[in-house]
Copies of this chain bind each other. A is one copy, B any other.
Amino acid sequence: MREDRVASPTLEDVARAAGVSRATVSRVINGIRNVDPSIQEVVRRAIAEVGYVPNRAARQLVTGKTGSIALIVSGAGQFFARVFTDPFFGRVVEGISGHLRPLGVHLVLMLAEAADARAQVVDYVRQGHVDGAILVTTHADDPLPAMLAESGTPVVLFARPDQPIPISYVDLAHGAGARMAADHLVARGCERVATISGPLDVLASMERLSGFREAMARHGHAYVPSVAGNFTKESGEAAMTRLLADHPQIDGLFVANDLMAQGALEVAAARGLRIPRDLRVVGFDDSTAALACRPPLTTIRHPVEDMSAEMSRLLLAQIEDPSRRPKSVIFEPELVVRESA
């Protein structure tokens, strides 16, 4: 009863049990028409009987397809603690698997936190474990996108790469989002506005910062103090502490992501600042952290799930037709008004 474990049953076994040829069994398994319904029934029964499961390696060897794709998260320094602490990555996984699962495509997550891990991941992909990869990188000068693109595997990126490489990606109109934050703060009557930005070597951070500055300038605010964080809550606290030390009078604040905003709000609360009366705060992302804030955070919606679903769509298309030219899809942000501003 358990010996089938020793050598799992093959097509051959099913064929014998059903009294047909391997080809016929293969046909019913792959849902190809042109098979007599009664025989289909017999085969199906035989499959169940012997407990047959197709051998992926054999199948891949002839079809060249694995039926699975990798989501690679690449970064450095405090990597694991970062990934498993920021709601962003969960949204990405959710968006991708929501799109892939109904299609029967397997999603595997791989984490590359250092040079050797990166090499191993590239290895994995090049060996043909997956049909393609979706890549999310958290640091600017990551060599992985180029390595992967060069390997010839279909790849799609989250966010435009720093270096111009021929690769498909999905991104957000960060500048437009920052502008919405600026307009909102000004409309609410803020006079002394500052911002906590993300790491300045990350494109998205730069775009949010410059977008915000430009919009504020257009409203006549020539000077907008800013402090950079690294997108963690702790860095938001540190940045806020510094900001308040240098500019105790601010009445409006734009923070480049919700997690940092959460940290900033806690510091503000500890300082006795009432939100939004004394200080209005706008975050960015509309992640679960925005709702966890006290008070709930007014923020800019970053449709991460939709963008991630789009990544898988692009990837699947590229797998189907490898000659496809790289394509980019840019999403539009939205202002979400809650209580903090």
Residues in chain A within 8 A of chain B (CB atoms) = 2, 5, 8, 53-58, 60-61, 66, 68, 70, 80-91, 93-94, 97, 101, 104, 106-111, 116-117, 120, 123-124, 126-129, 152, 234, 288, 292, 322
C-alpha gap A139/B55 in the complex (Å): 31
User: Which residue in chain B gives the minimum CB-CB distance to A152?
Assistant: B5
**Cβ–Cβ contact A129 & B84, under 8 A:** no
**Cβ–Cβ contact B87 & A85, under 8 A:** yes
Supposing A81-B288, A288-B85 touch, asked if A56 and B111 sit within 8 A by C-beta, the answer is no
C-alpha gap A68/B93 in the complex (Å): 21
**Cβ–Cβ contact B120 & A101, under 8 A:** yes
What is the minimal beta-carbon distance from A310 to any residue of chain B, in angstroms?
A: 18
**Cβ–Cβ contact A128 & B56, under 8 A:** yes
What is the minimal beta-carbon distance from A280 to any residue of chain B, in angstroms?
A: 22
Q: In the complex, which of the residues A60, A87, A89, A292 has the most CB atoms of chain B within 10 Å of its own CB atom?
A: A60
Beyond A8-B152, A54-B127, A56-B127: 9 further Cβ-contacts under 8 Å?
A56-B57, A56-B128, A56-B129, A57-B60, A68-B124, A82-B90, A85-B288, A107-B110, A234-B292
Name the B residues within 8 Å of A68 (CB-CB). Answer: 124, 129
C-alpha gap A81/B234 in the complex (Å): 19
What is the minimal beta-carbon distance from A26 to any residue of chain B, in angstroms?
A: 15
3 A-B pairs with least C-beta separation: A84-B90, A80-B90, A109-B109
User: Which residue in chain B gives the minimum CB-CB distance to A153?
Assistant: B5
**Cβ–Cβ contact B53 & A61, under 8 A:** no
Q: So how many copies of this chain end up in the complex?
A: 2
C-alpha gap A88/B80 in the complex (Å): 10
**Cβ–Cβ contact A124 & B106, under 8 A:** yes
**Cβ–Cβ contact A126 & B85, under 8 A:** no
C-alpha gap A120/B22 in the complex (Å): 25
User: Which residue in chain B gives the minimum CB-CB distance to A82?
Assistant: B90
User: Which residue in chain B gives the minimum CB-CB distance to A107?
Assistant: B110
Supposing A68-B129, A84-B84, A84-B87 touch, asked if A110 and B111 sit within 8 A by C-beta, the answer is no
**Cβ–Cβ contact A120 & B91, under 8 A:** no
C-alpha gap A111/B84 in the complex (Å): 13
**Cβ–Cβ contact B91 & A80, under 8 A:** yes
**Cβ–Cβ contact A97 & B85, under 8 A:** no
**Cβ–Cβ contact A90 & B81, under 8 A:** yes
What is the minimal beta-carbon distance from A77 to any residue of chain B, in angstroms?
A: 13
Name the B residues within 8 Å of A60 (CB-CB). Answer: 57
Q: Supply 13 A–B pairs (Cβ within 8 Å), ascending by A.
A: A5-B152, A54-B127, A55-B127, A56-B129, A57-B58, A57-B66, A80-B91, A84-B84, A85-B288, A97-B117, A106-B123, A106-B124, A109-B110
C-alpha gap A8/B90 in the complex (Å): 35
Name the B residues within 8 Å of A70 (CB-CB). Answer: 108
